[in-house]
Amino acid sequence: ATPTALMVGTGRGAQLGILIKGPEVLESTRRVDTVVLDKTGTVTTGKMTLLGVHTVTGTTENEVLRIAGALENASEHPIAQAVAAGARERTGSALPTPEDFANVPGLGVQGIVEGHAVLVGREKLLAEWEIHLPESLLTAKREAEAGGRTAIAVAWDGEARAVLEVADAVKDTSAEAIKRLRALGLTPILLTGDNKAVAEAVAAEVGIDEVIAEVMPEDKVDVVKRLQDEGRSVAMVGDGVNDAAALAQADLGLAMGTGTDAAIEAGDLTLVRGDLRAAADAIRLARRTLGTIK
Ligand code: ADP
Ligand code: MG
Protein backbone atom coordinates (compact mmCIF):
# COMPACT_ATOMS: atom_id res chain seq x y z
CA ALA A 1 0.00 0.00 0.00
CA THR A 2 1.14 3.53 -0.62
CA PRO A 3 1.92 5.74 2.38
CA THR A 4 -0.88 8.08 1.32
CA ALA A 5 -3.48 5.30 1.31
CA LEU A 6 -2.30 4.17 4.75
CA MET A 7 -2.55 7.69 6.10
CA VAL A 8 -6.05 8.03 4.71
CA GLY A 9 -6.98 4.71 6.30
CA THR A 10 -5.56 5.82 9.63
CA GLY A 11 -7.41 9.13 9.45
CA ARG A 12 -10.70 7.44 8.58
CA GLY A 13 -10.12 5.14 11.55
CA ALA A 14 -9.93 8.10 13.90
CA GLN A 15 -13.29 9.31 12.56
CA LEU A 16 -14.80 5.90 13.30
CA GLY A 17 -13.49 5.97 16.89
CA ILE A 18 -10.57 3.65 16.18
CA LEU A 19 -7.04 4.65 17.19
CA ILE A 20 -4.41 2.78 15.17
CA LYS A 21 -0.89 2.47 16.65
CA GLY A 22 0.85 2.58 13.27
CA PRO A 23 0.08 2.12 9.57
CA GLU A 24 1.62 -1.39 9.60
CA VAL A 25 -1.23 -2.51 11.87
CA LEU A 26 -3.66 -2.35 8.93
CA GLU A 27 -1.83 -5.25 7.27
CA SER A 28 -2.45 -7.69 10.16
CA THR A 29 -5.98 -6.35 10.56
CA ARG A 30 -6.79 -7.35 7.02
CA ARG A 31 -5.71 -10.98 7.47
CA VAL A 32 -7.61 -11.79 10.67
CA ASP A 33 -10.08 -14.72 10.47
CA THR A 34 -10.90 -15.35 14.16
CA VAL A 35 -11.98 -12.88 16.83
CA VAL A 36 -11.55 -13.81 20.49
CA LEU A 37 -13.70 -11.64 22.74
CA ASP A 38 -13.24 -11.18 26.48
CA LYS A 39 -16.63 -11.27 28.21
CA THR A 40 -16.62 -8.91 31.18
CA GLY A 41 -16.23 -5.28 30.15
CA THR A 42 -15.93 -6.14 26.46
CA VAL A 43 -19.13 -7.94 25.42
CA THR A 44 -20.88 -6.91 28.66
CA THR A 45 -20.86 -3.48 30.28
CA GLY A 46 -18.76 -4.75 33.20
CA LYS A 47 -20.99 -2.77 35.53
CA MET A 48 -22.22 -5.47 37.85
CA THR A 49 -25.09 -5.38 40.33
CA LEU A 50 -25.65 -7.50 43.42
CA LEU A 51 -28.95 -9.29 42.79
CA GLY A 52 -29.25 -11.85 45.56
CA VAL A 53 -27.85 -13.28 48.78
CA HIS A 54 -28.25 -16.93 49.85
CA THR A 55 -26.99 -17.79 53.33
CA VAL A 56 -26.60 -21.00 55.30
CA THR A 57 -28.77 -21.51 58.39
CA GLY A 58 -27.37 -19.56 61.33
CA THR A 59 -25.82 -16.83 59.21
CA THR A 60 -27.74 -13.64 58.43
CA GLU A 61 -27.72 -11.67 55.19
CA ASN A 62 -26.57 -8.65 57.17
CA GLU A 63 -23.48 -10.43 58.52
CA VAL A 64 -22.56 -11.75 55.09
CA LEU A 65 -22.90 -8.37 53.45
CA ARG A 66 -20.94 -6.57 56.15
CA ILE A 67 -18.03 -9.02 56.05
CA ALA A 68 -17.91 -9.83 52.32
CA GLY A 69 -18.65 -6.19 51.44
CA ALA A 70 -15.78 -4.94 53.61
CA LEU A 71 -13.29 -7.22 51.88
CA GLU A 72 -14.55 -6.49 48.35
CA ASN A 73 -14.48 -2.77 49.10
CA ALA A 74 -10.68 -3.04 48.96
CA SER A 75 -10.71 -4.46 45.41
CA GLU A 76 -11.28 -2.67 42.10
CA HIS A 77 -12.69 -5.73 40.32
CA PRO A 78 -16.16 -5.00 38.83
CA ILE A 79 -17.64 -7.87 40.88
CA ALA A 80 -16.03 -6.50 44.03
CA GLN A 81 -17.46 -3.03 43.41
CA ALA A 82 -20.93 -4.52 42.93
CA VAL A 83 -20.72 -6.50 46.16
CA ALA A 84 -19.44 -3.52 48.16
CA ALA A 85 -22.07 -1.15 46.74
CA GLY A 86 -24.86 -3.70 47.26
CA ALA A 87 -23.70 -4.35 50.81
CA ARG A 88 -23.70 -0.65 51.68
CA GLU A 89 -27.14 -0.22 50.19
CA ARG A 90 -28.78 -3.29 51.74
CA THR A 91 -27.26 -2.92 55.22
CA GLY A 92 -27.68 0.85 55.20
CA SER A 93 -24.36 1.29 56.97
CA ALA A 94 -20.69 1.92 56.31
CA LEU A 95 -18.37 -1.07 55.81
CA PRO A 96 -15.52 -1.86 58.20
CA THR A 97 -11.93 -1.63 56.94
CA PRO A 98 -10.27 -5.04 56.53
CA GLU A 99 -7.25 -5.70 58.76
CA ASP A 100 -5.66 -7.62 55.90
CA PHE A 101 -6.44 -7.91 52.19
CA ALA A 102 -5.09 -9.68 49.11
CA ASN A 103 -6.33 -10.06 45.57
CA VAL A 104 -6.23 -13.59 44.16
CA PRO A 105 -6.30 -12.93 40.38
CA GLY A 106 -9.00 -14.88 38.54
CA LEU A 107 -10.34 -16.35 41.78
CA GLY A 108 -11.39 -13.60 44.19
CA VAL A 109 -10.17 -11.92 47.35
CA GLN A 110 -9.00 -13.00 50.77
CA GLY A 111 -8.29 -11.16 54.00
CA ILE A 112 -9.22 -10.46 57.59
CA VAL A 113 -12.37 -8.56 58.57
CA GLU A 114 -13.20 -7.92 62.23
CA GLY A 115 -10.97 -10.82 63.23
CA HIS A 116 -12.45 -13.32 60.73
CA ALA A 117 -10.35 -14.97 57.99
CA VAL A 118 -12.53 -14.31 54.94
CA LEU A 119 -12.64 -15.63 51.36
CA VAL A 120 -14.88 -14.19 48.63
CA GLY A 121 -14.79 -15.53 45.08
CA ARG A 122 -15.03 -18.66 42.98
CA GLU A 123 -15.83 -22.06 44.47
CA LYS A 124 -12.28 -22.95 43.41
CA LEU A 125 -10.83 -20.32 45.77
CA LEU A 126 -12.62 -21.93 48.71
CA ALA A 127 -11.59 -25.41 47.53
CA GLU A 128 -7.94 -24.35 47.77
CA TRP A 129 -8.55 -24.02 51.51
CA GLU A 130 -10.52 -27.25 51.56
CA ILE A 131 -13.77 -25.42 52.17
CA HIS A 132 -16.73 -26.93 50.32
CA LEU A 133 -20.18 -25.56 49.61
CA PRO A 134 -23.05 -27.34 51.38
CA GLU A 135 -25.91 -28.68 49.23
CA SER A 136 -28.13 -25.62 49.82
CA LEU A 137 -25.45 -23.24 48.50
CA LEU A 138 -24.60 -25.54 45.58
CA THR A 139 -28.25 -25.41 44.55
CA ALA A 140 -28.30 -21.61 44.81
CA LYS A 141 -25.11 -21.45 42.72
CA ARG A 142 -26.47 -23.76 40.00
CA GLU A 143 -29.73 -21.83 39.75
CA ALA A 144 -27.94 -18.48 39.53
CA GLU A 145 -25.61 -19.70 36.79
CA ALA A 146 -28.38 -21.34 34.79
CA GLY A 147 -29.94 -17.86 34.70
CA GLY A 148 -26.72 -16.31 33.40
CA ARG A 149 -25.72 -14.74 36.72
CA THR A 150 -22.32 -15.15 38.38
CA ALA A 151 -22.34 -16.93 41.75
CA ILE A 152 -19.76 -15.71 44.28
CA ALA A 153 -19.01 -17.85 47.30
CA VAL A 154 -18.36 -16.38 50.76
CA ALA A 155 -16.56 -18.22 53.56
CA TRP A 156 -15.05 -17.24 56.88
CA ASP A 157 -13.31 -19.08 59.68
CA GLY A 158 -13.16 -22.25 57.60
CA GLU A 159 -16.86 -22.47 56.69
CA ALA A 160 -18.86 -21.62 53.59
CA ARG A 161 -21.49 -19.04 54.59
CA ALA A 162 -23.20 -17.71 51.52
CA VAL A 163 -23.54 -17.44 47.77
CA LEU A 164 -23.96 -13.98 46.25
CA GLU A 165 -25.53 -13.49 42.84
CA VAL A 166 -24.14 -10.76 40.62
CA ALA A 167 -24.79 -9.96 36.99
CA ASP A 168 -23.93 -7.39 34.39
CA ALA A 169 -25.80 -6.52 31.25
CA VAL A 170 -24.73 -7.30 27.71
CA LYS A 171 -23.93 -4.04 25.88
CA ASP A 172 -26.75 -3.15 23.52
CA THR A 173 -24.24 -2.89 20.65
CA SER A 174 -22.71 -6.37 21.13
CA ALA A 175 -25.19 -8.51 19.17
CA GLU A 176 -25.01 -6.14 16.19
CA ALA A 177 -21.19 -6.18 16.39
CA ILE A 178 -21.09 -10.00 16.30
CA LYS A 179 -23.42 -9.98 13.30
CA ARG A 180 -21.07 -7.56 11.48
CA LEU A 181 -17.98 -9.61 12.35
CA ARG A 182 -19.66 -12.73 10.99
CA ALA A 183 -20.66 -10.86 7.84
CA LEU A 184 -16.94 -10.20 7.30
CA GLY A 185 -16.35 -13.97 7.48
CA LEU A 186 -14.82 -13.97 10.96
CA THR A 187 -15.42 -16.63 13.63
CA PRO A 188 -16.20 -15.12 17.07
CA ILE A 189 -15.12 -16.93 20.26
CA LEU A 190 -16.05 -15.84 23.80
CA LEU A 191 -13.19 -16.12 26.31
CA THR A 192 -13.67 -15.64 30.04
CA GLY A 193 -12.54 -16.53 33.52
CA ASP A 194 -16.18 -16.73 34.48
CA ASN A 195 -18.24 -19.91 34.84
CA LYS A 196 -19.20 -21.90 31.74
CA ALA A 197 -22.97 -21.64 32.29
CA VAL A 198 -22.77 -17.84 32.63
CA ALA A 199 -20.51 -17.58 29.58
CA GLU A 200 -22.89 -19.70 27.50
CA ALA A 201 -25.88 -17.58 28.52
CA VAL A 202 -24.06 -14.41 27.40
CA ALA A 203 -22.82 -16.08 24.19
CA ALA A 204 -26.36 -17.15 23.28
CA GLU A 205 -27.62 -13.63 23.87
CA VAL A 206 -25.15 -12.08 21.39
CA GLY A 207 -24.96 -14.89 18.83
CA ILE A 208 -21.60 -16.54 19.62
CA ASP A 209 -21.40 -20.37 19.27
CA GLU A 210 -17.93 -21.03 20.65
CA VAL A 211 -17.16 -20.48 24.35
CA ILE A 212 -13.90 -20.94 26.26
CA ALA A 213 -14.70 -20.42 29.96
CA GLU A 214 -13.10 -20.76 33.39
CA VAL A 215 -9.75 -19.66 31.97
CA MET A 216 -7.25 -18.29 34.50
CA PRO A 217 -5.93 -14.79 33.67
CA GLU A 218 -2.41 -16.07 32.86
CA ASP A 219 -3.85 -18.75 30.55
CA LYS A 220 -5.73 -16.41 28.21
CA VAL A 221 -2.52 -15.92 26.22
CA ASP A 222 -2.21 -19.71 25.74
CA VAL A 223 -5.70 -19.87 24.26
CA VAL A 224 -4.62 -17.31 21.64
CA LYS A 225 -1.40 -19.26 20.96
CA ARG A 226 -3.32 -22.51 20.54
CA LEU A 227 -5.62 -20.94 17.96
CA GLN A 228 -2.60 -19.55 16.12
CA ASP A 229 -1.01 -23.01 16.16
CA GLU A 230 -4.15 -24.26 14.42
CA GLY A 231 -3.26 -21.84 11.62
CA ARG A 232 -5.74 -19.14 12.49
CA SER A 233 -5.01 -15.44 12.33
CA VAL A 234 -6.37 -14.17 15.62
CA ALA A 235 -7.74 -10.82 16.75
CA MET A 236 -8.26 -10.46 20.50
CA VAL A 237 -10.59 -7.86 21.99
CA GLY A 238 -10.23 -7.08 25.68
CA ASP A 239 -10.31 -4.44 28.38
CA GLY A 240 -8.67 -5.84 31.50
CA VAL A 241 -5.21 -6.10 32.99
CA ASN A 242 -5.72 -9.85 32.64
CA ASP A 243 -6.20 -9.47 28.87
CA ALA A 244 -2.93 -7.60 28.22
CA ALA A 245 -0.70 -10.61 27.46
CA ALA A 246 -3.31 -12.11 25.14
CA LEU A 247 -3.73 -8.76 23.36
CA ALA A 248 0.03 -8.61 22.78
CA GLN A 249 0.18 -12.23 21.57
CA ALA A 250 -2.72 -11.89 19.12
CA ASP A 251 -2.04 -11.08 15.47
CA LEU A 252 -4.20 -8.06 16.18
CA GLY A 253 -4.93 -6.71 19.66
CA LEU A 254 -7.99 -4.50 20.05
CA ALA A 255 -8.32 -2.72 23.38
CA MET A 256 -11.50 -1.16 24.70
CA GLY A 257 -10.89 2.57 25.19
CA THR A 258 -13.04 2.29 28.29
CA GLY A 259 -10.71 -0.36 29.73
CA THR A 260 -7.46 -0.41 31.67
CA ASP A 261 -4.22 1.32 30.62
CA ALA A 262 -2.49 -2.07 30.53
CA ALA A 263 -4.89 -3.31 27.85
CA ILE A 264 -4.61 -0.11 25.82
CA GLU A 265 -0.80 -0.27 25.91
CA ALA A 266 -0.79 -3.91 24.82
CA GLY A 267 -3.23 -3.44 21.93
CA ASP A 268 -2.55 -2.45 18.31
CA LEU A 269 -5.86 -0.68 18.03
CA THR A 270 -8.04 1.11 20.56
CA LEU A 271 -11.81 1.14 20.20
CA VAL A 272 -12.17 4.59 21.74
CA ARG A 273 -15.84 4.43 22.73
CA GLY A 274 -15.78 0.83 23.96
CA ASP A 275 -18.27 0.00 21.21
CA LEU A 276 -17.61 -3.48 19.81
CA ARG A 277 -19.09 -2.51 16.43
CA ALA A 278 -15.91 -0.49 15.86
CA ALA A 279 -13.98 -3.80 15.76
CA ALA A 280 -15.87 -4.77 12.62
CA ASP A 281 -15.42 -1.24 11.23
CA ALA A 282 -11.65 -1.51 11.78
CA ILE A 283 -11.39 -4.78 9.87
CA ARG A 284 -13.56 -3.55 7.01
CA LEU A 285 -11.51 -0.34 6.85
CA ALA A 286 -8.21 -2.24 6.71
CA ARG A 287 -9.44 -4.50 3.94
CA ARG A 288 -10.71 -1.52 1.98
CA THR A 289 -7.62 0.61 2.51
CA LEU A 290 -5.22 -2.14 1.47
CA GLY A 291 -7.52 -3.92 -0.95
CA THR A 292 -8.02 -0.98 -3.27
CA ILE A 293 -4.31 -0.52 -3.82
CA LYS A 294 -3.08 -4.08 -4.30
P1 ADP B 1 -13.14 -12.10 33.14
O2 ADP B 1 -12.22 -13.02 32.41
O3 ADP B 1 -14.58 -12.39 32.78
O4 ADP B 1 -12.82 -10.63 32.89
P5 ADP B 1 -11.75 -12.47 35.82
O6 ADP B 1 -10.62 -13.30 35.29
O7 ADP B 1 -11.43 -11.11 36.31
O8 ADP B 1 -13.02 -12.41 34.77
O9 ADP B 1 -12.42 -13.28 37.02
C10 ADP B 1 -12.83 -14.62 36.86
C11 ADP B 1 -13.78 -15.03 37.94
O12 ADP B 1 -13.12 -14.99 39.23
C13 ADP B 1 -14.99 -14.11 38.09
O14 ADP B 1 -16.03 -14.45 37.22
C15 ADP B 1 -15.35 -14.36 39.56
O16 ADP B 1 -16.11 -15.55 39.67
C17 ADP B 1 -14.02 -14.55 40.25
N18 ADP B 1 -13.51 -13.29 40.83
C19 ADP B 1 -12.44 -12.57 40.41
N20 ADP B 1 -12.24 -11.50 41.20
C21 ADP B 1 -13.24 -11.50 42.12
C22 ADP B 1 -13.60 -10.66 43.25
N23 ADP B 1 -12.91 -9.56 43.58
N24 ADP B 1 -14.67 -11.02 43.97
C25 ADP B 1 -15.39 -12.11 43.66
N26 ADP B 1 -15.11 -12.94 42.64
C27 ADP B 1 -14.03 -12.66 41.89
MG1 MG C 1 -12.65 -8.08 31.07
| pLDDT band of 27, cuts 50, 70, 90 | confident
Question: Which pLDDT score, from 0 to 100, does residue 147 have?
Answer: 84
Instruction: Compute the average pLDDT of residues 115-138.
Output: 97
CA distance 56 to 137: 7
Atom of ligand 1 nearest to the CA of 103: 23
Question: Which pLDDT score, from 0 to 100, does residue 281 have?
Answer: 92
CB-ligand 1 contact for 164 (6 Å cutoff):
no
CA distance 44 to 256: 12
Burial of 51 (0-12, 13-18, 19+ CB in 10 A): middle
Task: Give me the residue spans of the domains in the chain.
Answer: 3-45+170-291, 49-167
| pLDDT band of 96, cuts 50, 70, 90 | very high
Q: Which CATH superfamily is domain 49-167 in?
A: Calcium-transporting ATPase, cytoplasmic domain N (3.40.1110.10)
State how far Cα 155 lies from the chain centre.
Answer: 24
Instruction: Compute the average pLDDT of residues 220-247.
Output: 96
Beta-strand relationship, 187-191 and 210-212: parallel
Q: Is the pLDDT of residue 149 over 50?
A: yes
> Counting ligands in written order, which one lies closest to the CA of residue 216?
1
Question: Which pLDDT score, from 0 to 100, does residue 10 have?
Answer: 76
Half-sphere exposure of 102 (CA within 13 A, CB side): 7
CB-ligand 1 contact for 39 (6 Å cutoff):
yes
Instruction: Compute the average pLDDT of residues 72-83.
Output: 94
Question: Which pLDDT score, from 0 to 100, does residue 1 have?
Answer: 62
Question: Which pLDDT score, from 0 to 100, does residue 287 have?
Answer: 85
Handedness of CA 225, 230, 233, 236 (dihedral sign): negative
Asked if the 3-45+170-291 domain carries CATH number 2.40.110.10, the reply is no
Question: Which pLDDT score, from 0 to 100, does residue 239 have?
Answer: 94
The DSSP code sequence of 139-196 is: HHHHHHHHTTPEEEEEEETTEEEEEEEEE-PBPTTHHHHHHHHHHTTPEEEEE-SS-H
Half-sphere exposure of 163 (CA within 13 A, CB side): 21
Instruction: Compute the average pLDDT of residues 206-210.
Output: 97
Amino acid code (one letter) for 13: G
State how far Cα 174 lies from the chain centre.
Answer: 14
Half-sphere exposure of 85 (CA within 13 A, CB side): 13
Query: For this structure, is 38 an active site residue?
Result: yes
Q: Is the pLDDT of residue 18 over 50?
A: yes
CA 42 to ligand 1 centroid distance, Å: 14
CA 228 to ligand 1 centroid distance, Å: 26
Percent of the chain at pLDDT exceeding 70: 97
Q: Which residue has the higher pLDDT, 46 or 138?
A: 138
Q: Quick check: 108 and 121 in contact, CB under 8 A?
A: yes
Question: Which pLDDT score, from 0 to 100, does residue 214 have?
Answer: 94
CA distance 37 to 238: 6
State whether residue 102 is helix, strand or coil: strand
**Mean pLDDT for all residues in the chain:** 93
Instruction: Compute the average pLDDT of residues 266-288.
Output: 92
Among 1-5, 91-95, 140-144, the minimum mean pLDDT is found in 1-5
